[in-house]
Amino acid sequence: ARGQIKVDQSPQVLILPEGANVSLQCKWSSAVNNLQWFKQNPGEGPVFLFFMASGMKQIGRFSSKMNSKDRLSSLHITGSQRGDSATYFCAV
């Protein structure tokens, strides 16, 4: 069986004004080939945002970077809006 991979996200809670830019980070404990980012609104299921294997992707105001060598991925939101208030998480 595969060992468990420990995943750390930061910051865990973030309060920011509308229009601000924000970055969330995800670090993991052992080598993985890809990672996914999700957004989850209260009382709803997770919504897929990005599948990352390397480099950078952008969809509208959302972008993500992946650095598998450093075991680090970031999710960046530009010009935050009220509807962006949600739980964001990465999965490896």
For every one of its 92 residues, what pLDDT tens digit does the chain have, with 9 covering 90 and above? 457 888 999 988 888 889 999 999 999 998 888 999 999 999 999 999 999 999 999 999 999 999 988 999 999 999 999 999 999 999 98
Cβ distance 64 to 34 under 8 Å?
A: no
Q: How far apart are CA 45 and CA 75, in angstroms?
A: 19
- Strand ranges of the sheet holding 22-28, from the earlier edge strand across to the other edge: 7-10, 22-28, 72-77, 62-67, 55-59
Domains along the sequence of the chain with CATH: 7-12+20-91 (2.60.40.10)
pTM here is 0.89
Residue 54 CB neighbour total at 10 angstroms: 12
SS3 86: coil
Model pLDDT, residue 2: 58
Q: How far apart are CA 90 and CA 83, in angstroms?
A: 19
Q: How far apart are CA 68 and CA 45, in angstroms?
A: 27
